Amino acid sequence: MSTDHTAAHERLAALPESTRVAVVTGASSGIGEATARELAGQGFHVVVGARRVDRLETLASEIDGTALPLDVTDVASCEAFCAAVPRLHVLVNNAGGAKGSTSVMDADEDQWRWMWETNVLGTLRMVRGLMPALVATGDGLVVTITSVAALEAYDNGSGYTSAKHAQAVLHRTLRGEFLGRPVRFTEIAPGMVETEFSLVRFDGDDDKASAVYRGITPMVARDVAEIVGFAASRPSHVNLDQIVVKPRAQHSAMRAHRD
C-alpha cells in the first residue's frame, strides 16, 4: 500500500463505531460526485475513488471524506483501494461510461475493451474486493448504476448496451448468491443525465455531446444521487431491487420528445 493508502486505512479504522462508511467509485464528476455529497449529507464517511485525484481531494475536503486514487481497469489499483477500507456499509459502483457510437459492423475493439473493462470488470473487481467488509458490518448495501442501456438494445450502441447488460446481470446475480446474508443490492438504471458522460463518449466533442440533450430537459446528477440516498436510508430489511429513472420527455433509449 502507498502512504496515501496506509494513512486512509488508519483514518478509517479510527472512526467511531457508529459512523457508517460508504465507497463511491467514479466520484470525480457527475453522478458519483453528487452521490458522495448526498451520502455525506446523511452522515456517512465517504471514501471517493477515481483517476482524477485532484478533483477527489477537493471533494473530500468539502465533505470531510477520504480521497484515494482508483483505476477500476487496473487490478493492482483496485486491490490497494479495497485493502485501505477496513469496514464498509455502502458500495456505490458508479465508475463507468460509454465510448463512441457505431454500428456492430463498424465496432472499434479498443472502445469495446474500454467499456467492458470499466463498467463490467471494474464492478466485478470492486465487489470482490469489498464484499467481505460489507458482509462483516452486518448491514451492507451495494448500489450499481447501470442504465436504460442495461434494459434495451439500441442501434449504434452495442458496445455500451452489451457492457451495461453484463454489469447489470453481474449485479442481479449477486442478489441471489448472497441471499440470506446481511447485504442488500439496488440497481439504478437511469436514462439521460447531463454530466460529462457524453463528452467522454464523443472524445471531448462539445457539439456532439450537447446534441444529445438538445430540446429536452435531461436529469441532473443530483436526481440520481438522491435516489441512491433514498435506497441507503431504507431500513435494513427493505431491499429496493431495481429503479428505472428517466426524464419525463424520454420514453426509452431510442425515443424522446424534443421541443
196 binds ligand NAP per the rule CB under 6 A: yes
| Residue 70 touching ligand NAP (CB under 6 A) | yes
Q: Which range touches ligand NAP (CB under 6 A), out of 7-15, 133-141, 171-179, 186-194?
A: 186-194
Kindly give the pairing relationship between strand 255-256 and strand 250-252.
Answer: antiparallel
Task: Return the number of the residue (131 or 145) whose C-beta is nearest ligand NAP.
Answer: 145
Stretch that binds ligand NAP, among 151-159, 176-184, 187-195, 242-250 (CB under 6 A): 187-195
Q: Find the DSSP H helices in 64-157.
A: 75-83, 109-115, 122-136
In the bound state with ligand NAP, the residue whose beta carbon lies nearer, of 73 and 137, is: 73
160 annotated active-site: yes
Nearer to ligand NAP, 51 or 172 (CB): 51
Closest CA to 55 of 78, 72, 77, 33: 33
Q: Is 158 in the site for ligand NAP (CB under 6 A)?
A: no
Concatenated DSSP letters of 15-71: S-TT--EEEEESTTSHHHHHHHHHHHHTT-EEEEEES-HHHHHHHHHHHT-EEEE--
Minimum distance from CB of 181 to ligand NAP (Å)?
A: 25
Closest CA to 124 of 90, 158, 73, 160: 73
CA distances from 210 to 147, 194, 245 (A): 19, 9, 21
Residue 96 touches ligand NAP, criterion: CB under 6 A: yes
Residue of 23, 36, 94, 120 interacting with ligand NAP (CB under 6 A)? 94
Helical (H) or strand (E) element with 210: helix 206-211
One symbol per residue from 8 to 47: x for binding ligand NAP (CB under 6 A), - otherwise; what is it? -----------------xxxxxxxx---------------
Query: Of the candidates 118, 161, 162, 250, which one interacts with ligand NAP according to CB under 6 A?
Result: 118
Residues 207-236 that bind ligand NAP (CB under 6 A): 221
> Grid coordinates representing 202?
464523443
Of 46 and 72, CB closest to ligand NAP:
72
Which of 81, 114, 116, 160 does the annotation list as catalytic?
160
Q: What's the burial of 46, exposed, middle or buried (CB within 10 Å: 0-12/13-18/19+)?
A: buried
Cα–Cα distance measured from residue 72 to residue 111, given in angstroms and rounded to the nearest whole number? 16
Question: Which residue numbers are catalytic?
Answer: 160
- The residues that touch ligand NAP, with contacts defined as CB under 6 A, are 25-32, 50-52, 70-73, 94-97, 118, 145, 147, 190, 192-193, 195-197, 200, 221
